[in-house]
Chains A and B, each alone.
Chain A
Amino acid sequence: MTPRPVVPALLATAALAAAGCLGAQVKTSSLCATEGGQVVPGASPGGSIHTQVTIDLGELGSDLDRSGVTGTVLLHEFTIAATDPLADLYGVTQVALVATTDPSSSLPPVVLTCSYERPAGATPPLRTVVADCSGPNLFDYVKARSLTLDVDLAGTGLPSVPWTASMGACMSVQVDVDYTAL
């Protein structure tokens, strides 16, 4: 399932329930999208890794890009999980995210504040890094049909050669539909 069936289905449910009336609100505490098969470059000489992932949110963007539809999309968690058995993320100490969208868009890049602490008791090799994040409303970025995250990993002993990973973002989503404005 892309959000194509789910979120629009919720919107459709709300629309059916609210047809011809004032409005509806649908929200989810967690919509997680994980992109698999991402190739991450090796660490730079300075020890950091920079990569990028575009979150495929299916038709969600076009569903939200309608008059009378407003909302809030807050990214609250970012996960990077190495699928390459040789990649060890034990040395990661910091995760930084910048949200962007289609280059043709006028929306400026948005810096998300992320915090990461290596799990207590973790031993190398560590395959998964989960960072708690916060930042401004990304509704317009999702509405622009493309949400790209610039990812920076900092630390010591990071993989020096390209490796593969899955990267995912979890977001809370709230959509308000004003049927009088549709």
Chain B
Amino acid sequence: MPLSRRAAAALPLALAALAVPRLPSAAGPEAAPASAGAAEAEAPPVLGVQLAFGAPDGLVLGAAYRPWTFLRLNGGFAWNALGFGVQGGATLLPFHFGITPTLTGEVGYYFPADYASRIERWTGTISPEVRPLLEHIGYTYLSTQLGLEFGGADSFVFFLRFGLAWIFTSASGPVTSTSDSGSTTYVLQGVEARAAVPTVNLGFVVYVW
């Protein structure tokens, strides 16, 4: 199966794997040829559940799909205490050992939300001049990370990654205000920002199927 088809199938398959236990063949396991049973027993699991936490990712719960032993794809839903988003990524695993080095690339998108109200719960009132810029804001990010994975390659792995992320966000405004003297009026609109920031990520994958 081409990689693209496998990748497209990853998320629903993984979710299905969570809900449906693996079924024996119609004839029953005892009817299967011994060689086939051995082959199935040797086949590594390809689907799993991944839970990760980091910045700027937030908390991400999703599915992991491993079309080949050296490549794992992941996709899921994200939450950063300010809003919700989605994330997808790919991890290269050059070999499998007790400790495995990894190279990961991820892309994520946080849907626009009212960050102002949520931030005010923690910090108190936000300056009214800045507030409109935070009332409808989300962000997109890309990241690349080097990491290490620990654990059984076919059952449970814990990972820790560090890297660099690029964050892109924008706010439309407009924001209108006056100077302290009252003689100057300011109107600000169309604000865009991007930043290159360090990223850290930790989490685990449990292979289920």
Chain A stretch 1-49: residues in CB contact (< 8 A) with chain B: 1-3, 5-7, 9-10, 13-14, 17-37
B196-A18 in contact (CB<8A):
yes
Chain A residues contacting B129 (CB-CB under 8 Å) are 1, 5-6, 9
Q: How far is the CA of A27 from the CA of B164 in the complex (A)?
A: 22
Q: Does A56 interact with chain B (Cβ within 8 Å)?
A: yes
For chain B, what secondary structure do more than half of its interface residues adopt (helix, strand, loop), or is it mixed?
A: strand
The answer to whether A14 touches B193 (Cβ under 8 A) is: yes
Please give the distance in Å from A21's CB to the nearest CB on chain B. 5
Question: Mask for B167-203, Cβ within 8 A of A = 1, else 0?
Answer: 1000000011111110111111111111111100000
Q: Inside 8 A of B186's CB, which chain A residues have their CB?
A: 1-3, 6, 31-34
Choose from A19, A21, A30 the contact partner of B188 (Cβ within 8 Å). Answer: A30
A10: B residues at CB distance < 8 A: 133, 191, 193
**Residues in chain A near residue B198, CB distance under 8 A:** 20-21
Q: Which listed residue (B180, B181, B188, B195) contacts A6, Cβ 8 A?
A: B188
Complex interface: chain A residues within 8 A of B189 (CB): 28-30
Complex alpha-carbon distance, A168 and B164, angstroms: 41
**Contact present for A30 and B190 (CB under 8 Å):** yes
- B130: A residues at CB distance < 8 A: 5-6, 9
| Chain A interface residue bracket vs B | 35 or more
Given contacts A2-B179, A9-B127, whether A35 and B192 have CB atoms under 8 Å apart is no
The smallest beta-carbon distance between A64 and chain B, in angstroms, is: 15
| 18 A–B pairs (Cβ distance < 8 Å), ordered by A | A1-B128, A2-B186, A5-B129, A6-B129, A6-B177, A10-B133, A14-B195, A17-B167, A21-B164, A21-B196, A26-B191, A28-B188, A28-B189, A28-B190, A31-B186, A31-B187, A34-B185, A56-B184
**B interface vs A, CB < 8 Å?**
56, 127-130, 133, 164, 167, 175-181, 183-198
